[in-house]
Amino acid sequence: MFTGIVQDIGIVEFIYRNENSIRMAISSDLDKCHMALGASISCNGCCLTVVEFFQNSNKNVFVVDVGYQSLALTNFDKMIVGSRINLEPALRVGDALGGHHMTGHIDYLAKINEFYKISDEFWKLVISIPKQYSKWMVPKGSIGIAGISLTIAGITLEKNEDSLIEIMIIPHTYLKTNLQFCASQMSIEIEFDQSVKAIASIVESMLPNYIQARK
């Protein structure tokens, strides 16, 4: 479980590619207590397991394996040495809940339609979301983007019924995450709010029976 409060920007040190998976080493300023074998770390919002740990030039380095399902829903297959990744260690009992509950299970790899500065150092992020996911989004609701807990400022329905969601990025978030390296037309990992997904699922399963019972 995670909260979407990024604690460090990791750097890819090496990538070993297999046919349907990759092994990746990421250096970080996170404390090594978060990198025990078997520990979970959110990497761009994707929950990955530490399979190896070592130190290199005063940097803590952890190694993760990424399977084919995670590769299909993330940008990891496009990573190169030097790529930057948002990191958050798993939530512990007693930790502050500064964002919203996130599982680290990516739902969709979205496209950034626009990303531009709107005033001083504030930015606007506009992302295209297919219509089948519209039931999982609400204005002012939470959404996980590349592992960052963010708030949906607005939703615009397009002619093809896909949605454009607008998100305002404050200077702190921009500077403390890898959003500073993002641009229009790039892809980015999305995890929808679990509470909204649960409510939508309950309504979908119960509404037909309710309507039938009212007839």
- Residue 163 and residue 85 share a domain: no
Residue 211 has pLDDT above 60, yes or no: no
Query: Does residue 138 sit within a domain?
Result: yes
Evaluate whether residue 49 is within a structural domain: yes
Beta strands per DSSP E along the chain: 8-17, 22-28, 40-43, 46-56, 59-66, 84-89, 108-119, 122-129, 142-145, 148-151, 154-157, 163-169, 187-192
- Domain that includes residue 153, residue range: 108-195
pLDDT tens digit sequence for 69-99: 999 999 999 999 999 999 999 998 778 888 8
If asked whether residues 146 and 182 sit together in one domain, one would say: yes
For residues 67 and 122, state if they share a domain: no
pLDDT tens sequence across 121-135:
899 999 999 999 998
Average pLDDT, the chain: 92
Is the separation of the CB atoms in 34 and 136 below 8 Å? no
Residue that terminates a domain, selected from 21, 56, 89: 89
Closest Cα to residue 92, out of 147, 27, 30, 39?
Answer: 39
**Is residue 36's pLDDT more than 60?**
yes
- In this predicted model, which residue has the larger pLDDT, 187 or 208? 187
Contact status, residue 126 vs residue 113, Cβ threshold 8 Å: yes
143-167: pLDDT as tens digits: 999 999 999 999 999 888 899 999 9
* CATH at 25: 2.40.30.20
Does 144 share its domain with 65? no
Please state the domain count of the chain: 2
Same domain, 47 and 113: no
